[in-house]
Amino acid sequence: MVFEQELDLLIRSSYPIIYVPTPEEERAEQLIAYVAESGSPPRDLHIWDFVSGFEGGAGRSNPVQALDEIEKARPDVPAVFVMRDFHRFLEDIQVARKLRNLARHLRTSRKTMIILAPSLRIPADLAEEMTVLDLTPPSAEEIDAELDDLLEQVTVRLSSGGREALVKACQGLYMIRIRLALARAVASFGRLDDRAIGLVLEEKKQRIRRTEVLEFWPVTETLDDIGGLDILKTWLEQRAAAFTKEARQYGLPHPRGILLVGIQGTGKSLSAKATASLWQVPLLRLDIGRLMGGLVGESEARTREMIRLAEAMAPCVLFLDELDKGFAGLGSSFVGDSGTSARVLGTILTWMEEKESAVFIAATANSVESLPPEVLRKGRFDEIFFIDLPSERERREIFEVHLNKVRPNRIREFDLDLLAFQSEGFSGAEIQQAIFEAMHVAFNERREFTTDDIIRAMSLIVPLSKTAGERIQRLQEWAASGRCRPASSDAARSGLIGQLFGEAGLPGGR
């Protein structure tokens, strides 16, 4: 009932023009009609579109004339005028001027104009004349009522917990898509049973694919694909059951998220993906740069849509790769874009801190210097982990993981200890690159690759630890300052981090 209550409040407060961006035209009109009919006093409802005009054809094919009809309507008779697809005419100079004049008139009358459109398009010169009101997807109660209607029409064979699971699966979809998915289930199986849940979830995936800011990623990686990082793995495993009903009854909140900071190629993105696999939840990827739109209000609308989609898929993992690049871009453009970037960043950060939904944010960053300080503030993430270059023991595990993928039957033929020793300063990605390079050479010579081939390949690779040594050292110093947690027990006991921890008298020194 949030939409109906907010709409009624805006109408009673004499807001002149309300913009409702939604693809659910039919549902929106039903709710608007309910608000108009149940208002105190009740309000007349008039609907216009370009093809049919108002009742009797007034204003047909003429948006300016349609606005004239609204202006000429009796000011003492409460009325709501719904304008379908009127966003298409807002760029016209005559329509825009007429709208601004009309807005003055509507503020002193008992009339309200509602623009109903599938997308949000508000020119800058009309931004102050309009109020945007979002129509969220149907609530659980609305979906349950829809299922009640369906029960009277088709055979239903849902299990004891099937109906609750189906309602949860439908949440986040618009009603038209829910009806289509349920109709598809009935057509496929001849009845409505638990198999409909899978079809509804597929519909959700389709909705994610249709967006410009979120991607639905299939989960294939597991924690077994990650060498080392024992502290991070233990932390994730301890929270594997945190989304269950038992966890809520115990009093545990939903996990908020983690920020993985570290050197490129050390397994940050892999760890974020493996989290979804471990917890058996969907993985969504957010491209922060795509949130920014060219039209007034478009960026904010995309941000709100992203939040709605993510919460609709909950429980899920929302993957924010290279957060430093995304937020650095937003932060550096605060001036010169009418504050759009500041509002987008503020909306995301506020949601990250205040969200109660089971959306776990797994973010990665290569450079903390580029991150705005408010991103690192307590409350945004449950924990900030630093992923350093792998130790010798971890490099051995990484070699074993990658060689098991390509030569599981020959793993004993490789000298893993020697490979780990010879690869000092290499990241996990660079180790994988060395293995592939050795395979290319051996394949070209029509033979199997060996330990010596991998060592020769490593001698041709200049690791990032040498090309960006100063930057890596600054990152290690930041990690050792106590503002994050080592992802590996080896990293906490060795190298620069271990020295600084030890000097500070903190756990992790030698």
DSSP labels, 451-481 = HHHHHHHHHT---HHHHTHHHHHHHHHHIII
Residue that wins the pLDDT comparison between 352 and 33: 33
Residues 204 and 169: their CA atoms lie apart, in Å, by 8
Coil, helix or strand at residue 351: helix
Q: pLDDT-based confidence at 508, cuts 50/70/90?
A: very low
Is 90's pLDDT higher than 90? yes
Look at residues 291, 265, 386 and name the one whose alpha carbon lies nearest to residue 345: 291
Q: What is the pLDDT of residue 333?
A: 44
Q: What is the pLDDT of residue 316?
A: 86
CATH number for 217-387 (one of 1.20.120.640, 1.10.10.410, 3.30.930.10, 3.40.50.300): it is 3.40.50.300
Q: How many CB atoms sit inside 10 A of residue 181's CB? A: 24
Residues 284 and 266: their CA atoms lie apart, in Å, by 21
Domain 2-132 has what CATH class?
alpha beta
Residues near 444 by beta carbon (within 8 Å), at least 6 away in sequence:
none
Q: What is the pLDDT of residue 293?
A: 61
Look at residues 171, 205, 170, 174 and name the one whose alpha carbon lies nearest to residue 185: 170
DSSP labels, 97-154 = HHHHHHHHHHHTSSEEEEEEESS----GGGGGGEEE---PPPPHHHHHHHHHHHHTTS
Is 87's pLDDT higher than 90? yes
Residues near 31 by beta carbon (within 8 Å), at least 6 away in sequence:
3, 4, 7, 135
Q: pLDDT-based confidence at 509, cuts 50/70/90?
A: very low
Look at residues 317, 353, 326 and name the one whose alpha carbon lies nearest to residue 236: 317
Q: What is the pLDDT of residue 494?
A: 57
User: Where do you find CATH 1.10.8.60 in the chain?
Assistant: 392-424+428-462
Q: What is the 3-state secondary structure (H, E, C) of 165-215?
A: HHHHHHCCCCHHHHHHHHHHHHHHHCCEECCHHHHHHHHHHHHHHHCCCEE
Write the CA distances from 279 to 237, 276, 295, integer angstroms: 8, 5, 38
Listed ranges 72-76, 110-114, 277-281; the one with the highest mean pLDDT? 110-114
Residues 491 and 389: their CA atoms lie apart, in Å, by 8
Tens digit of each residue's pLDDT (9 = 90 or more) over 12-54: 999 999 999 998 999 999 999 999 999 888 999 999 999 999 9
Q: Rounded to the nearest 10 degrees, what angle do helices 495-503 and 469-478 cross at? A: 40
Tens digit of each residue's pLDDT (9 = 90 or more) over 181-223: 899 999 999 899 888 988 887 887 777 777 767 888 877 788 8
Strands of 366-446, DSSP E: 383-387
**Proportion of the chain above pLDDT 90, given as a percent:** 42
Residues near 508 by beta carbon (within 8 Å), at least 6 away in sequence:
486, 492, 493, 497, 498, 501, 502
Rg of the chain on CA atoms, in Å? 29
What strands, in cross-sheet order, belong to the sheet with 359-365?
214-217, 283-286, 316-320, 359-365, 257-262, 383-387, 485-486
Tens digit of each residue's pLDDT (9 = 90 or more) over 386-400: 989 899 999 999 999
State which amino acid sits at residue 372.
P
Bridge-based pairing state of the strands 17-21 and 111-117:
parallel
Domain 392-424+428-462 has CATH 3.50.50.60: no
User: Where do you find CATH 3.40.50.300 in the chain?
Assistant: 2-132, 217-387
Q: What is the pLDDT of residue 331?
A: 46
Residues 442 and 439: their CA atoms lie apart, in Å, by 5
Look at residues 182, 208, 123, 194 and name the one whose alpha carbon lies nearest to residue 158: 194
Q: What is the pLDDT of residue 332?
A: 44
Q: What is the pLDDT of residue 132?
A: 95
Q: How many CB atoms sit inside 10 A of residue 214's CB? A: 23
Q: What is the pLDDT of residue 109?
A: 92
Tens digit of each residue's pLDDT (9 = 90 or more) over 140-165: 788 888 888 887 888 888 887 788 77
Tens digit of each residue's pLDDT (9 = 90 or more) over 417-427: 999 999 999 99
Q: pLDDT-based confidence at 491, cuts 50/70/90?
A: low
Q: b/e map of 393-431 (b: 16 or more CB within 10 Å)?
A: bbbbbbbbbbbeeeeeeeeeebebeebbebbeebbbbbb
What strands, in cross-sheet order, belong to the sheet with 79-84?
44-48, 79-84, 111-117, 17-21, 130-132
Look at residues 214, 235, 223, 233 and name the one whose alpha carbon lies nearest to residue 320: 214
Measured CA angle at 196 (ends 195, 198), to 5 deg: 75
Which tokens belong to 6?
């907010």
Question: What's the DSSP call for residue 1?
Answer: -
Per-chain mean pLDDT for the chain: 85
Q: What is the pLDDT of residue 161?
A: 77
Look at residues 242, 252, 254 and name the one whose alpha carbon lies nearest to residue 278: 242
Coil, helix or strand at residue 80: strand
Mean pLDDT of 261-271: 85
The half-sphere exposure of 287 on its side-chain side, counting CA atoms within 13 A, is 13
Q: How many CB atoms sit inside 10 A of residue 112's CB? A: 25
Evaluate if pTM is beyond 0.85. Answer: no
Write the CA distances from 159 to 139, 156, 186, integer angstroms: 22, 10, 16
